């Protein structure tokens, strides 16, 4: 007798092949039978349901919230059994004593009140494991963390000693199980990363056969230079590379056919033998850091000084013209496209667009923006915006492209309590369901079989996640059972904190994690180390 049998369902195995009727048998952590299945201790009837591999999010920031939500409530209820975290350069390790304080402040902003009792990347992975997790995680090490742990806080000179320290920190992370290194070159402090240091780190990464993923420097006016920088680093390091959410924001300063031409650059690099792909997100809306809009001449001074400077109306007047670095459509007066997701110091504005905040605050949108930043002081880097970034047409292009994995660029949350109050967006609650319900069923952008391939096997293969992403005998039993005709999100922009409908069963490493929408309290997730 085996442990678990899932019977009478439509099997979509993750390969991209057509669905077919098949039962699934699970023993321990593995799928042991497909087709005719033995009697089991637990029998699940999946009639009229799809049975697929658990979804793998190729671009998640759940390491921001994992310590406050080890049960992964919002993502596991969507069928996400593995998350690739540590993206855009931001990770919670490695740390120096100085950078530990900043990391603790960021984690505290996501309601984690525990100790930061790790310094190395290996110690950090052990901390995650020791506390238990519901879903699996694989981790990049972030360039920002490496940089700050090496004592680089801004655009100061990068010495040979800094380079050696950064390379040593990267090597330790890779030896501890990191799958690669991420950068966030549009954000502080990644924006200060020099070609010399990035090339040095790319060569070190190549020694460990790691993958490089990057939120590139620019995705509008300078998108081609930014894509070329990533391609050059892949060539210099002899490494695979992933362009994080390669897209072009609507109504900015992007050149004609910017996205198509950027993808052509990626395809040309592929034709030359370089392994470069990308991922996308499911929504027209995206999450961004509020400080990402600020110019370098201001943020170079550090956030406490920024808060002081914002008291000066002359500085504010200058910023109205100089904040032309990120989400540039606001300079066209399109503040209705921007919503404040979380502001711990002014929570009454959470979930509101800036015209709505302006009406309540009785000031214009720019002054509201500056006031919110100023109120957060040294913690302003934790302020998160949601912006309406893309058209439906552009979104469909990205979702359908065969070289794009399907991610969310969000993080796991929970629908009640303190964490729910600072994660006021749809991304945590419905991103993966958006692919199944909107892009597959409503828009018919891609088939369900293709979507599941791009949500499971493709990211597994991309990031070296072995024996996952495809349902076959001998692979780990990460499984989701859902109703393809009725799976839907209940989350909205105005009321985001709602779990989806239509997910019948989620299994992680052979253990039932979710049944009929209820979290079962399992903690069988693993840290998936490289090799």
Lowest mean pLDDT among 148-152, 204-208, 378-382: 378-382
Question: Based on the domain organization, do 60 and 194 belong to the same domain?
Answer: yes
Mean local confidence (pLDDT), 197-201: 98
Q: How far is CA 160 from CA 129, 150, 163, 197, in A?
A: 35, 11, 5, 9
pLDDT at residue 472 in the model? 98
Question: Based on the domain organization, do 197 and 114 belong to the same domain?
Answer: yes
Question: Based on the domain organization, do 210 and 72 belong to the same domain?
Answer: yes
pLDDT tens digits, 271-300: 999 999 999 999 998 888 888 889 888 887
Residue 108: in which H helix or E strand, if any? helix 97-109
Mean local confidence (pLDDT), 137-166: 96
Q: Phi and psi dihedrals of 42, rounded to 5? A: -120, 125
Domain membership flag for residue 132 = yes
Question: Based on the domain organization, do 479 and 451 belong to the same domain?
Answer: no
Percent of the chain with pLDDT over 90: 82
pLDDT at residue 216 in the model? 97
Question: Based on the domain organization, do 306 and 375 belong to the same domain?
Answer: yes
pLDDT at residue 347 in the model? 82
Q: Other C-beta atoms within 10 Å of 323: how many?
A: 20
pLDDT at residue 482 in the model? 98
Does the pLDDT of residue 265 top 90, yes or no? yes
Dist CA 153 CA 181 (whole Å): 19
Does the pLDDT of residue 187 top 90, yes or no? no
- Here the CATH number for the domain that contains residue 483 is 2.30.40.10
pLDDT tens digits, 479-520: 999 999 999 999 987 788 999 999 999 999 999 999 999 999
Q: Which residues contact 442 (CB under 8 A, 6 or more apart)?
A: none
Residue 10: in which H helix or E strand, if any? strand 10-11
Question: Based on the domain organization, do 342 and 440 belong to the same domain?
Answer: no
Domain membership flag for residue 324 = yes
Domain membership flag for residue 89 = yes
Quote the number of domains for the chain. 3
pLDDT bucket at 131, cuts 50 / 70 / 90: very high
Mean local confidence (pLDDT), 239-247: 97
Question: Based on the domain organization, do 109 and 167 belong to the same domain?
Answer: yes
pLDDT at residue 344 in the model? 75
Question: Based on the domain organization, do 208 and 69 belong to the same domain?
Answer: yes
Does the pLDDT of residue 250 top 90, yes or no? no
pLDDT tens digits, 53-72: 999 999 999 999 999 999 99
Lowest mean pLDDT among 249-258, 365-374, 502-511: 249-258
* Boundary (domain end) residue, out of 358, 388, 418: 388
Question: Based on the domain organization, do 376 and 428 belong to the same domain?
Answer: no
Interstrand relation of 479-482 and 50-53 (parallel, antiparallel or unpaired): antiparallel
Dist CA 259 CA 219 (whole Å): 9
The rounded Cα 31 to chain-centroid distance in angstroms is 28
Q: Phi and psi dihedrals of 142, rounded to 5? A: -90, 135
Domain membership flag for residue 195 = yes
Question: Based on the domain organization, do 210 and 67 belong to the same domain?
Answer: yes
pLDDT at residue 423 in the model? 84
pLDDT at residue 123 in the model? 98
Mean local confidence (pLDDT), 452-480: 98
Domain membership flag for residue 524 = no
- Here the CATH number for the domain that contains residue 178 is 3.20.20.140
Q: Which residue has the tokens 């209705």?
A: 336
pLDDT at residue 242 in the model? 98
pLDDT bucket at 443, cuts 50 / 70 / 90: very high
Domain membership flag for residue 263 = no
Question: Based on the domain organization, do 75 and 161 belong to the same domain?
Answer: yes
pLDDT at residue 421 in the model? 84
Domain membership flag for residue 88 = yes
pLDDT tens digits, 329-350: 888 899 999 999 877 788 888 8
What's the whole-number average pLDDT of the chain?
94
- The Cα diameter of the chain in Å comes to 76
pLDDT at residue 399 in the model? 97
pLDDT bucket at 531, cuts 50 / 70 / 90: confident
Does the pLDDT of residue 454 top 80, yes or no? yes
pLDDT at residue 495 in the model? 84
pLDDT bucket at 252, cuts 50 / 70 / 90: confident
pLDDT bucket at 155, cuts 50 / 70 / 90: confident
Domain interval for residue 345: 289-388
Q: How far is CA 80 from CA 152, 227, 430, 475, in A?
A: 36, 29, 11, 17
The neighbouring-strand residues paired with 141 are 181
Report which of residues 519 and 352 the model is more confident about. Answer: 519
Question: Based on the domain organization, do 77 and 173 belong to the same domain?
Answer: yes
With contact defined as beta carbons under 8 Å apart, do 218 and 225 qualify? Answer: yes
Domain membership flag for residue 255 = no
């Amino acid at each position: 007798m085996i442990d678990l049998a899932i019977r009478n369902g439509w099997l979509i195995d993750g390969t991209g092949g057509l669905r077919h009727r098949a039962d699934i048998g699970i023993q321990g952590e593995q799928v042991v039978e497909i087709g005719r299945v033995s009697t089991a201790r637990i029998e699940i009837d999946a009639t009229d349901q799809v049975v697929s591999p658990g979804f793998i999010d190729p671009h998640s920031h759940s390491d921001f919230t994992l310590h406050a939500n080890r049960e992964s409530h919002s993502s596991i209820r969507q069928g996400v059994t593995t998350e690739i975290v540590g993206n855009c350069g931001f990770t919670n390790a490695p740390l120096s004593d100085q950078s530990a304080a900043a990391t603790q402040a960021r984690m505290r902003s996501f309601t984690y009140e525990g100790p930061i009792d790790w310094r190395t990347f290996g110690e950090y992975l052990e901390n995650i494991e020791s506390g238990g997790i519901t879903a699996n995680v694989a981790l990049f090490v972030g360039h920002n963390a490496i940089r700050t742990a090496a004592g680089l806080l801004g655009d100061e000179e990068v010495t040979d000693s800094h380079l050696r320290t950064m390379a040593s920190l990267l090597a330790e992370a890779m030896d501890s199980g990191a799958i690669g290194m991420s950068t966030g070159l549009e954000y502080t402090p990644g924006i200060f990363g020099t070609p010399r240091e990035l090339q040095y780190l790319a060569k070190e990464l190549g020694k460990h056969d790691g993958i490089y993923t990057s939120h590139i420097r620019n995705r509008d006016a300078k998108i081609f230079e930014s894509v070329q920088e990533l391609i050059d680093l892949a060539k210099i390091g002899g490494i695979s590379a992933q362009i994080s959410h390669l897209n072009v924001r609507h109504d900015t300063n992007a050149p004609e056919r910017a996205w198509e031409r950027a993808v052509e650059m990626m395809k040309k690099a592929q034709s030359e033998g370089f392994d470069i792909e990308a991922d996308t997100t499911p929504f027209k809306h995206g999450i961004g850091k509020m400080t990402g809009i600020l110019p370098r001449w201001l943020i170079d001074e550090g956030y406490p000084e920024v808060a002081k400077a914002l008291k000066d109306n002359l500085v504010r007047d200058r910023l109205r013209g100089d904040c032309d670095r990120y989400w540039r459509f606001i300079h066209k007066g399109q503040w209705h496209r921007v919503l404040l997701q979380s502001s711990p110091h002014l929570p009454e504005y959470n979930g509101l667009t800036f015209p709505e905040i302006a009406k309540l605050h009785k000031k214009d949108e720019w002054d509201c923006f500056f006031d919110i930043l100023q109120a957060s002081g040294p913690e302003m880097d934790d302020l998160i915006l949601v912006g309406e970034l893309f058209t439906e047409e552009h979104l469909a292009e990205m979702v359908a492209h065969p070289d794009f994995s399907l991610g969310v660029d969000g993080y796991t949350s929970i629908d009640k309590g303190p964490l729910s109050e600072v994660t006021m967006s749809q991304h945590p609650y419905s991103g993966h369901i958006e692919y199944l319900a909107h892009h597959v069923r409503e828009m018919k952008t891609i088939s369900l079989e293709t979507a599941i391939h791009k949500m499971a096997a493709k990211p597994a293969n991309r990031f070296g996640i072995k024996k996952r992403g495809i349902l076959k005998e001998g692979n780990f039993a990460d499984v989701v059972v859902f109703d393809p005709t009725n799976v839907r999100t209940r989350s909205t922009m105005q009321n985001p904190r709602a779990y989806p409908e239509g997910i019948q069963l989620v299994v992680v490493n052979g253990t039932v994690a979710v049944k009929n929408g209820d979290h079962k309290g399992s903690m069988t997730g693993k840290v998936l180390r490289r090799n």
